[in-house]
Chain A
Amino acid sequence: MSNRRSRSRQMGVSRINDDQIADLVSKLQQIIPHNIHATCSNKVSASRVLQETCTYIRSLHREVDDLSERLSELLQSTDTNSAEAAIIRSLFM
């Protein structure tokens, strides 16, 4: 019974078709940093682009984890006060 429920749920979400794939691939090719190993930049297979997108998002998540760990360590060690936060804020604005 759970199989039937999960399958009907899958059919309710429209699966991606070829036009959407082309659109997606063109968008992603602009965003993802170009790999050095990419031989022919014009005709990259769609599945490769999708794969690289997954890898890229995964690496970004890992970087966020790593950076948040370092930030939490630095937060403990440094003696920051609100004045320093104001300085940082002024640097960004």
Chain B
Amino acid sequence: MSSASQQPTSINPIHLKNQFALRFVRALNTIKNQKGSAHDTQMHCRSRRVKIAAYTAMASVVGSRRSWSRAVLWKIRNRSRNQDLLRNKIMTNHHRRRRHAKLCMKRRNRNSIREDVYLNPFRYSVQESKLRKMVPGGRNMDSWCLGDEIADYIKCLAAQVEVMQTLVDLYTVT
């Protein structure tokens, strides 16, 4: 599971931006060509789809090299799979109730974990747990990898924001 033999090398940032821009523009074209029914609901759905396309494109460029990118891809695939299940109504009412109960249990557990953190003797535990929540897949990450993962995640996020800003400027001018 852990690629201890091969250290994940940092990607050339220009290459990263190019690859991300390519995949993201392709996804944008797909979204644009999808026909829609109602105008207002379509607005909200579209921006959500654009956002997911951006995160997916960035995570797929980084690939399986990083723990955070794997977590992003896994989450998105899982979410789309669940949505398909709901749409096809394969999930019966019984399954829906059980899933809802599981989600409530997760929310309750999350609140109880917050109390435990304040009793923890380690010095930076509060900020550290906040950081772990920010980075995808950060909750179960080993603390040795955490620093590298956070640094890489921030670099990729900043590149993503730069490319998206460039695209917005391009589209507004033309």
Contact = CB atoms under 8 A, between A and B. Distances in A.
Interface string A1-42: 011011100100111111011011001100110000000000
Interface of A: 2-3, 5-7, 10, 13-18, 20-21, 23-24, 27-28, 31-32, 46-47, 50-51, 53-54, 56-58, 60-61, 63-65, 67-76, 78, 80, 82, 84-85, 88-89, 91-93
Interface residues of B, number: 63
Given A60-B154, A67-B161, A2 B108 contact: yes
B109 interface: yes
Nearest to A15: B122
Contacts of B151: 27-28, 31
Given A24-B150, A31-B155, A53-B150, A47 B168 contact: no
B7 interface: no
Given A72-B43, A89-B22, A92-B17, A21 B28 contact: no
Given A2-B105, A53-B134, 10 more contacts: A15-B125, A28-B150, A31-B151, A32-B154, A50-B131, A51-B127, A72-B50, A80-B32, A89-B21, A89-B25
Contacts of B51: 64-65, 68
B112 A2 contact: yes
Given A2-B105, A20-B143, A71 B157 contact: no
Nearest to A74: B171
Contacts of B116: 3, 6-7, 10
